[in-house]
DNA sequence: TATTTTTACGAAAACGATTACGTTGCAAAT
DNA sequence: ATTTGCAACGTAATCGTTTTCGTAAAAATA
């Protein structure tokens, strides 16, 4: 490995001069600067991140916290799409991305300590249990963080506009003539809470009566759980004409259950999902859903995190709402009321 | 930040003793060792990765090279599943995972240099253009690497058994009575080459005649491209009764084209995919496909890479074949011949 | 008892960079 | 002629560990 010492020897300048020249300091004369750079190139020099980091404390590396309850991990299409976008934008801005886990070298370690250990300049937090004390510890620490789809005090949040999304879906379903709309909502996350709120408020606005039995809890991103909820809904004396699901993925469970009941989508029952994952658009019939802008979400997350890192003093936490787009699909049937 | 110096002062022992005690060296007496650990705990000490790395050269961090031509990145379901498994196993073994890009801090840098810069202990290479000189440079370097789905000299490879997979598919389709089987094959990757070989050899074994016009090139993981190939196949004077696709994802393009032609799967034409991604099993009809064992692939990749890192001297490169499983689905119709 | 070995610890030198501060030489200002 | 200022470069400390090599005392051996 060739170091600045080697360059120093070969070029005859001191290591500090070499360092400064290589970092483009104006302190060094143009000629020497050029010479040093030339020598460095010839010798195949590149800096050692560890040594540099030890002094500067800047790693040019951001961490991502990305662990979901359902263990789907990177197979979670929505989040992996967001993450991919984070990665692309971070790379464009010169940052690498490292996954943060709870252990290091076989020793357990909190998220926060892990980040400090790895000297992450900042952290993107997505798809985790936001009630986890360790997550809270990390967010409240001095390390810049941005969260995706969850709002914390004094922490920049990139939010997919779930309220608006579910609201638009309800409006669309209403416009198609439906008045008996059921909602299966994922439990215990702020994301699904917002979707539920959007559902309620829009129903109220439109004057739709929603019996309690039309609201079923289910686990987020869990087809089985939504399947059970679907069964209950279909067995009601007065079943709904349209069922809204927590997310596209969960809908699959519902779809199977609807098939078992011998019903056809959308002729016998209408359905809508959420997310707009690829799958939803290749199903037959195409699923009516709300597509989240994963690319914008990830990009904004990376950009804002890096801004927070760079302008640490002046940066103020903010919330950024990313809008999505209704994909009508063909799973909601025009109906009379 | 509390350092071993602080512990040294507080405990009265030298920094070297502290370091040794903390690292469990047998050189240090049990009592002092316990005392030092206690003090370290009280003070909330944990090591600084940069400083440690600077001396030891071990980062406990592995890099992943993961850039596909189609830019689907982490949205590539097969690879993201593999990667997730790599991550889980690596974490279990005490390693973190960092993405390797071509630039760092806005400066371009080769993959190899990037790995050296970040001091990656090893690299997992997947889903890239294996002809890229930079990739080759990395593989031939002193950094331990494992490749997924591609064989290089002197480099451990974790291989999904594509030959066997496509072979089993052909056999299954044959058993269902089909004799006019077309094959759309992805271009230019060793993965798709193997699938093609499996197709050819099994056809030969079974005595199936394969006219040239039944073999269509298309881009791997590209629905549009497979859609075009499908159209050509359907327009043949003597069209096939079954079409095999490069992968499940590509099949979607074919599916749309088949729909456009007013044909029904599987009544009018049978189809088969490859990969066994989630999508394939929720399509109606369920897709006949070959499910690759992504979990085993990722796990083996991580395990072998870390073995290569740990036993650098004795480790010999090897090839590990991971078997998959045929998912019959309902897209291949029983037919007479 | 005299000698060797072992045990338990410390001093100091790395690792490879950055950076505050010091030192020149020389031109410009006084 | 003296002072000042600045450009251009060097010295040396520093970041937080690990590790080699010593060394004193204790234990084992002869």
Contacting A residues, span 274-333, partner chain B, CB-CB under 8 Å? 278-279, 282-284
Q: Do B93 and A106 touch (CB under 8 A)?
A: yes
Distance CA B48 to C1' D25 in A: 34
Q: Which of A178, A220, A177 shows the shortest CA–CA distance to A196?
A: A220
| β-sheet bridge partners, residue B122 | B62
Q: Do B104 and A113 touch (CB under 8 A)?
A: no
B23 CB less than 7 Å from any atom of strand C: no
B14: nt with nearest C1' to CA: C10
CA distance B219 to chain A (A): 19
Cα dist from B222 to A277, B161, B184, B219, whole Å: 17, 21, 11, 6
pLDDT confidence of residue A153: 86
> Count of CB contacts below 8 A, A vs B?
133
User: Which are the contacts of B192, defined by CB distance < 8 A and separation ≥ 6?
Assistant: B162, B185, B186, B220, B246
Q: Do B284 and A283 touch (CB under 8 A)?
A: yes
A100 close to B (CB below 8 A): yes
pLDDT confidence of residue B75: 72
Contacting A residues, span 38-77, partner chain B, CB-CB under 8 Å? 46-51, 53-54, 59-61, 73-75, 77
B316 CB less than 7 Å from any atom of strand D: no
Which residues in chain B are contacts of A80 at CB distance < 8 A?
A: 74-75, 80
Residues (14-33, chain B) with CB within 7 Å of strand D atoms: 15-16, 19-20, 22-23
- Output B187 or A116, whichever has higher pLDDT: A116
Q: Do A54 and B49 touch (CB under 8 A)?
A: no
Q: Do A117 and B88 touch (CB under 8 A)?
A: no
B15: nt with nearest C1' to CA: C10
Go through the domains of chain B in sequence order and give each one's CATH number: 4-47 (no CATH), 61-160+295-323 (3.40.50.2300), 162-291 (3.40.50.2300)
Per-residue pLDDT of chain A (337 residues; tens, 9 = 90+): 899 999 999 999 999 999 999 999 988 999 999 999 999 999 999 899 999 999 999 999 999 998 765 556 677 888 888 999 999 999 999 899 999 988 776 677 889 999 999 999 999 998 777 788 999 999 999 999 999 998 988 899 999 999 999 999 999 999 999 999 999 998 778 888 899 999 999 999 999 999 999 999 999 888 889 999 999 999 999 999 999 999 998 998 999 899 889 999 999 999 999 999 888 888 888 999 999 999 999 999 999 999 999 988 888 999 999 999 999 999 999 987 6
Of the pLDDT bands very low, low, confident and very high (cuts 50, 70, 90), residue B68 is low
Exposure string over A210-226, b if 16+ CB within 10 A, otherwise e: beeebbbebbbbbbebb
B20: nt with nearest C1' to CA: D18
Phi-psi region of B83 (alpha: psi -120 to 50; beta: other; left: phi over 0): alpha
pLDDT confidence of residue A105: 66
Average pLDDT value over all residues in chain B:
91
Q: Do A103 and B84 touch (CB under 8 A)?
A: no
In chain B, % of residues over pLDDT 90: 73
Of the pLDDT bands very low, low, confident and very high (cuts 50, 70, 90), residue B69 is low
Tens digit of each residue's pLDDT (9 = 90 or more) over A202-220: 999 999 999 999 999 999 8
Whether pLDDT at B72 is above 70: no
A17: nt with nearest C1' to CA: D9
Which residues in chain B are contacts of A84 at CB distance < 8 A?
A: 73-75
Measured in degrees and rounded to the nearest 5, phi and psi for residue A63 equal -95, 155
| β-sheet bridge partners, residue A97 | A62
Q: Which residue is nearest to nucleotide C10 (CA to C1')?
A: B14
| β-sheet bridge partners, residue A186 | A218
d(CA B81, CA A11): 50
Contacting B residues, span 188-217, partner chain A, CB-CB under 8 Å? none
Of the pLDDT bands very low, low, confident and very high (cuts 50, 70, 90), residue B30 is very high
- Reading the block at residue A238, the tokens are 């007065």
CA distance A48 to chain B (A): 5
Q: Which DSSP symbol is given to A45? A: -
Alpha helices in chain A (DSSP H): 4-11, 15-22, 30-43, 49-56, 77-92, 111-117, 133-139, 162-175, 190-206, 223-234, 248-260, 278-282, 294-310
Which residues in chain B are contacts of A46 at CB distance < 8 A?
A: 109, 113, 116-117
Distance CA B133 to C1' D8 in A: 41
């Amino acid at each position: 490995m060739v170091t600045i010492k080697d360059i120093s020897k070969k070029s005859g300048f001191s290591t500090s001069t070499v360092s400064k020249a290589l970092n483009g300091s104006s302190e060094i004369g143009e000629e020497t600067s050029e010479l040093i750079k030339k020598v460095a190139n010839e010798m195949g020099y590149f800096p050692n991140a560890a040594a540099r980091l030890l002094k500067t404390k800047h790693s040019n590396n951001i961490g991502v916290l990305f662990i979901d309850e359902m263990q789907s991990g990177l197979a979670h299409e929505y989040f992996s799409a967001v993450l991919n976008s984070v990665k692309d934008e971070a790379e464009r801005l010169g940052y690498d991305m490292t996954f943060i886990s709870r252990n290091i070298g076989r020793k357990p370690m909190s998220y926060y300590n892990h980040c400090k250990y790895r000297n992450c300049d900042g952290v993107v937090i997505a798809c985790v249990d936001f009630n986890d004390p360790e997550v809270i510890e990390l967010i409240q620490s001095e390390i810049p963080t941005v969260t995706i789809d969850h709002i914390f005090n004094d922490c920049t949040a990139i939010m997919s506009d779930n309220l608006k999304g579910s609201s638009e879906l309800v409006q669309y379903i209403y416009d198609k003539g439906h008045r008996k709309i059921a909602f299966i909502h994922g439990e215990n996350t702020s994301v699904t809470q917002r979707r539920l709120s959007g559902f309620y408020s829009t129903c109220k606005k439109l004057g739709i009566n929603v019996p309690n039995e039309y609201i079923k809890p289910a686990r987020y991103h869990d087809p089985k759980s939504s399947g059970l909820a679907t069964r209950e809904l279909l067995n009601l004396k007065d079943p709904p004409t349209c069922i809204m699901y927590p997310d596209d993925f969960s809908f699959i469970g519902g779809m199977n259950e609807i098939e078992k009941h011998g019903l056809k989508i959308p002729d016998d029952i209408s359905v809508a999902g959420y997310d707009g994952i690829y799958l939803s658009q290749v199903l037959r019939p195409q699923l009516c859903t709300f597509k989240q802008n994963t690319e914008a979400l990830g990009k904004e997350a990376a950009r804002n995190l890096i801004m927070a890192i760079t302008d640490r003093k002046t940066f103020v936490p903010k919330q950024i709402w990313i809008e999505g787009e209704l994909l009508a699909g063909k799973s909601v049937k025009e109906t009379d009321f």
